Amino acid sequence: MGSDSDFDVVSDALKQLRQFGIPHEAHVISAHRTPIEAQKFAVSARENGFGVIIAAAGKAAHLAGFLAAYTTLPVIGLPIESSTMDGLDSLLSIVQMPSGVPVATVAIGGAQNAALLAAQILAVSDDELEEKLTVFKLSLAIKTIEKDKALQEKMQNI
């Protein structure tokens, strides 16, 4: 994450990764304040065992693109809401990447989806993880069906 103030949002991604049993780390690395450390992290990420990088940042939010410039690993940008433009500045900074430097982007504050996308990318070569994702998606369907059933019962009582 670009700043320790991003942790409250990032923690939702960490919880989701933990639920799937995906090893993960969290670091404060800034594209602007610690560019050398950010470059070293990105260049060595694959050899350090990373399969995907989630880069959370607010305001100028250059972290995801900066890391993507130095690695062939998939990078997922997680825009953080800022005081300036409610996170729109962060979203646009992440999503508007030049050709040749792709960054997947989730919604402003979409930490859970960042973790889920990372899990889906990793599951391409991990059958056990793919099974966990299938069960997760089935649980979402079951919850939605239950909510619809409850709504139908409410409607009968109107």
Tell the burial category of 38 from Cβ atoms under 10 Å away from its Cβ (0-12, 13-18, 19+): buried
pLDDT recorded at residue 60 = 86
Neighbours of 3 (CB within 10 A): 16
Which residue in 66, 62, 58, 50 sits closest to 118, CA to CA?
A: 50
Q: For residue 84, name the pLDDT band (cuts at 50, 70, 90).
A: confident
Residue 37 has pLDDT above 90, yes or no: yes
pLDDT recorded at residue 158 = 87
Q: For residue 157, name the pLDDT band (cuts at 50, 70, 90).
A: confident
